[in-house]
Amino acid sequence: MNIIIIGIQGSGKGTQAALLHKKYGWPHINLGKLLRDHIIRKTELGLVVKEYIDKGRLVPDDLVIKLIKPVLDAADSGFILDGFPRNLAQERFLLDNYRIDGVVLLDLDDETAVKRISARRHCSVCHTDYNLLINPPKVENTCDLCGGKVVMRDDDHEEAIRMRLNKFHLKTKKVIELFQERGLAIPIQADQPVEVVHQKILDQLNL
Q: Which residues bind Zn ion (CB under 5 A)?
A: 123, 125-126, 128, 143, 145-146, 148
Active site residue 13: yes
Q: Give the shortest CB-120-to-Zn ion separation in angstroms.
A: 15
Catalytic residue among 13, 116, 121, 200: 13
The H or E element that residue 29 is part of is strand 28-30
Burial 36-61 (b: 16+ CB within 10 A, else e): eebbeeeeebbebbbeeeeeeeebeb
Length of the chain: 207
66 catalytic residue (yes or no): no
Minimum distance, C-beta of residue 178 to Zn ion, in the bound complex (Å): 44
The helix (H) or strand (E) run that includes residue 137 is none
Q: Verify whether residue 86 is a known catalytic residue.
A: yes
Point out the catalytic residue in the list 153, 167, 174, 182: 153
Q: How far apart are the first and last CA of the chain?
A: 9
- Cβ at position 147, least distance to Zn ion in Å: 7
In the chain, what's the furthest Cα-to-Cα distance? 53
Of 91 and 156, which has the nearer Cβ to Zn ion?
156
- Residue with smaller CB distance to Zn ion, 17 or 150: 150
Active-site entry in 50, 86, 115, 162 = 86
How many CA atoms within 13 Å lie on the side-chain side of 1? 23
Peptide bond into 85 cis (omega under 30): yes
Residue with smaller CB distance to Zn ion, 131 or 199: 131
CB nearer to Zn ion: pick between 47 and 146 = 146
Q: Which active-site residues does the annotation give?
A: 13, 86, 120, 153, 164
